[in-house]
Amino acid sequence: MKINYVLFLILFSAYSFAAENPTIKMATDQWPPYYGENMQNQGPISEISRQVLNKLGYQLNISFTPWKRALEHTRKGKYHAVLGAYTNKERSLYFWNSDPILSSFVVLFGHIDNKKSVPDLDALNNQRVCIINGYYYSDEFTNNNFISKVKSNSLRHCFERLIAQRVDYVVADKLVGQALINEQFPAYKNQITTLPLVIAQGTIHILWSKQIPENLKLNVLFNNELQRLKESGEIDLIWQKYGF
């Protein structure tokens, strides 16, 4: 009887939490080591966002979907926000962005047989560079029409093309690219080089859809709580747990 009563309290508490704490729905792509569906707690950015929202009285549900779809569906208000994204002028038309969660360095990955020097973006003219459909890298890179940009739906596909030398370079966040190589292409890691040129240095944010008016206030609350957790050291502890 006592066990049944304890089970009742546990189930009732879980139900009460779900009933009293509304759910925020976010969409994003797979982007280890920052976030991913099969990562511990879905990765550090997911855990940070969930902790901030829990403190504010919300639950967080994250849908992992191709990046372009995540942006488009959130822009239309099907999700509250995009988890973990760069900002730019076009996106600011449709989204309110949170304060930065972390910094990101976008670099080039090349094949070891490619001996071409790449001191700047102009050196990429007429070169085949694999990019992810819907991703933003930098205005300078995007507006350079002399670079032959080869679109793909996944970073994995880009690296498959690089290994086969069907493209000359892959552009990606440095840590994301290195993590994917180590996890999915360990036998080829000695064939792939990381170039020193930094294509862009940006910051990663939560993008709140302007189609949901209450997101404006929620973004302010999110930023205030995020700052409080940073000052308390709780955010640093999460990053350290994931090896950052």
pLDDT given for residue 100 in this prediction: 97
Handedness of CA 228, 232, 238, 244 (dihedral sign): positive
d(CA 167, CA 128): 5
Q: Which residue did the predictor score with more confidence, 1 or 181? A: 181
d(CA 25, CA 121): 38
Which residues have C-beta within 8 Å of that of residue 66, sequence separation ≥ 6? 29, 133, 134, 153
**21 — pLDDT class (breaks 50, 70, 90):** confident
How confident is the model over 89-126, as pLDDT tens digits?
999 999 999 999 999 999 999 999 999 999 999 999 99
- What's domain 103-202's superfamily in CATH? Periplasmic binding protein-like II (3.40.190.10)
Looking at every residue in the chain, the average pLDDT score rounds to 92
Give 152-175 pLDDT, tens digit per residue: 999 999 999 999 999 999 999 999
Superfamily grouping for domain 2-102+203-241: Periplasmic binding protein-like II (3.40.190.10)
Q: Global pTM? A: 0.85
**CATH 3.40.190.10 region(s) of the chain?**
2-102+203-241, 103-202
